[in-house]
Structure 1
Amino acid sequence: MSALGIAGGIVQPLLLVGGSPLLVGVMRQTRAKLEGRAGAGVLQPWRDLRKLLLHKESMTPRGTSEVFRYAPLVLMATTLVVAVVVPFVTTASAVDPVADLFAVVALLALGAVALALAGLDTGTAFGGMGASRETTILALVEPTLLVAIFALSVRAGSTNLAAIVSSTLRDPVRVISPVSLLAAVALIVVIVAETGRLPVDNPSTHLELTMVHEAMVLEYAGPDLALVELASAMRLSVFLGLLANLFAPWGVATTAAPVALLAGVVALVVKVGVLGVVLAGSEVFLAKLRLFRVPELLAGSFLLSLLAVAASFFLA
């Protein structure tokens, strides 16, 4: 464990915990401005979290088990571990073995599965519906995520995310290769589906017949709901940070010097902020897909990731 990895392991989770609600606020405000609305302001997600933590109490539906009570903790814990080990600010990982592609994807999937089980545990129609839709999307998305990043690992010679980022820094021309372009498009579709954005899900609606993520968390309240909302915002930042650093890793700190770490923080904030604004802006011009059309979109992204893997072998 190097000093650079330790520094990243300290800075990254603090940055994601503090900045993820602001990212959500910026995205909501961007969408509001493009739709001709005033918006609630970029600090509104933090105000909502403060209200849930300090002025609301947790409610446990009758008949639920420990699955419902511990799901927010599992979701938050897995997201925090990913925030610690993935190279967002620094090229070194605090816990290098856990920064492996398969371990990171498994952790992200574990958090999503825990929330889906909590939706089922409530025994409500909406909870079961949301959990069913979430697991369907998860089953189609996780292979694409694995294969898309695996395409990048072929040239790096390692499935370790830190090694992939370092490899791209040493050879920036790879960014414009067919492998990177195909993998990037596939990963963008994965991010849209994993984070519940349009056209897969609409994060601003509570219409029961169309929602996916919101249907699973309808029974949560108070601090439990705050934990779920914060973890969901952090997962959005994690996925956007992965997209930014896997395909545009410039600015990532390669030394533990304070100036390099500060540059890494600024670079991550700028890249994730720009991606968030672009994502929010694009949602204004998109309509939600019918649920039965979503697998077609995800199957197309999986095909792109397979083409990226094939290209990585043939063009190596």
Structure 2
Amino acid sequence: MTDSTTLGLVGGLLQAVVIVAGAPLLVGLMRQVRARMEGRVGAGIRQPWRDLRKQFRKEPITPRGTSEVFRAAPVAMVAITLVVAAIAPFVTAASPLPGVADLFVVVALLATGTVAIALAGIDTGTAFGGMGASRETTILALVEPTALVAIFALSVRAGSTNLSAIVDSTLAEPSAVLSPAALLAAAALVLVIVAETGRLPVDNPATHLELTMVHEAMVLEYAGPDLALIELGSAMRSAVYLGLLANLFVPWGIATEAGVLALLVGVVAFVVKVGVLGAALAAAEVFLAKVRLFRVPELLAGSFLLALLAVTASYVLA
């Protein structure tokens, strides 16, 4: 077994553990930052873990008339996100499945998790579930092409759509981070993350108003352990998206060789970068208002245009 294979296996397992354990803390940090900036005390960074523990102890309840789609969606969402957490370059540049750690595979897996929850929302047969699923799939159809094109702009320099190769290329050529293509792609990906994680101004995770709900409308019928899995999966997706943003553009600190010290530095660097990005995103939300639903496609179309400009710049300025 080569050092790269060993690093990929150990790193993949470590990444999965860090994201599962740290994702709720990331949500708690973002809520705490927003609370402090709004003049509130806040519930504390560990509150999401307390909520998950309480939900896991409750009795599972399934609405009448739902099928296996409703029951399988939370597990599918967590499992798919866990796979991405293990194979993408977060703590280490190596991957346990190098052929799977590809741009198109990772984006497709994350989209599949969203589709699973949307199908569960439709399966309930409620007006809220169908409304939320319709809105979510509309956003998904606009966001996924942007994510593909934005990261593809980075792959032009690396000569590969493999995420680990893109990270290695940035490590080998640090000045590329400040290139027009990278900056345009980063701006597009920020808007993708805002939309995919249901943050302002696209969605408001703290509301249950009929006219503004997107993600919450699809999961209103969930309770107990199923709701806990939904919340954990959503938190993991936030950590994964922020981790991709951090390491595709600022990969310094990521482990490139097998060793306890290198992996420890990789974990610390990943936690710090994701924490800073999460805190910055939460702080920006304080100054933003939710845009009208019919204006969201315009915002996402703008992000797609930025991604196209990034690809053009990557070829013209190569």
TM-score bracket, normalised by the shorter chain, equals over 0.9
Cα distance in 2 for partners of 1:92, 1:11 equals: 12
Partner of 2:203: 201
Question: SS of the residue aligned with 1:98?
Answer: coil
1:38 is matched with which residue: 38, 41, 50?
41
Partner of 2:306: 304
Partner of 2:6: 3
TM-score normalized with structure 1 length: 0.99
Moved more, 130-139 or 207-216: 207-216
Cα distance in 2 for partners of 1:207, 1:45 equals: 22
Q: Which runs of 5+ in 1 are unaligned?
A: none
Partner of 1:213: 215
Query: Partner letter of residue 45 of structure 2?
Result: V
Cα distance in 2 for partners of 1:177, 1:2 equals: 32
Q: 1:68 aligned to 2:67?
A: no
Question: SS of the residue aligned with 1:99?
Answer: coil
Number of residues of Structure 1 aligned to a counterpart in Structure 2: 315
Partner of 2:182: 180
1:288 is matched with which residue: 261, 283, 290?
290
Cα distance in 2 for partners of 1:48, 1:18 equals: 14
Cα distance in 2 for partners of 1:256, 1:218 equals: 45
Partner of 1:244: 246
Cα distance in 2 for partners of 1:33, 1:97 equals: 43
Partner of 1:111: 113
Partner of 1:93: 95
Partner of 2:155: 153
Partner of 2:28: 25
TM-score normalized with structure 2 length: 0.98
How big is the shift at 1:69? 0.7
1:256 is matched with which residue: 258, 276, 283?
258
Question: SS of the residue aligned with 1:6?
Answer: helix
Query: Partner letter of residue 183 of structure 1?
Result: A
How big is the shift at 1:208? 2.1
1:274 is matched with which residue: 273, 276, 279?
276
Partner of 2:230: 228
Query: Partner letter of residue 292 of structure 1?
Result: F
How big is the shift at 1:3? 1.0
Partner of 1:84: 86
Question: SS of the residue aligned with 2:82?
Answer: helix
Cα distance in 1 for partners of 2:69, 2:165 equals: 36
How big is the shift at 1:205? 1.1
Cα offsets for 1:126-171 (capped at 9, x unmatched) = 0000000000000000000000000000110000000000110000
Cα distance in 2 for partners of 1:57, 1:217 equals: 17
Moved more, 2-11 or 235-244: 2-11
Cα distance in 1 for partners of 2:283, 2:59 equals: 35
Partner of 1:12: 15
Cα distance in 1 for partners of 2:165, 2:95 equals: 10
Cα distance in 2 for partners of 1:280, 1:251 equals: 24
Cα distance in 2 for partners of 1:274, 1:158 equals: 29
Cα offsets for 1:254-312 (capped at 9, x unmatched) = 11110000000000000000000000000000000000000000000000000000111
Cα distance in 1 for partners of 2:56, 2:116 equals: 21
Cα distance in 2 for partners of 1:311, 1:41 equals: 43
% of aligned pairs identical? 75
Cα distance in 1 for partners of 2:307, 2:280 equals: 22
Cα distance in 2 for partners of 1:82, 1:123 equals: 30
Partner of 1:49: 52
Structure 1 residue ranges (4+ consecutive) displaced by more than 3 angstroms after TM superposition = none
The root-mean-square deviation of aligned C-alpha atoms, in Å, is: 0.6
Cα offsets for 1:228-265 (capped at 9, x unmatched) = 10010000000000000000000000111100000000
Q: Which runs of 5+ in 2 are unaligned?
A: none
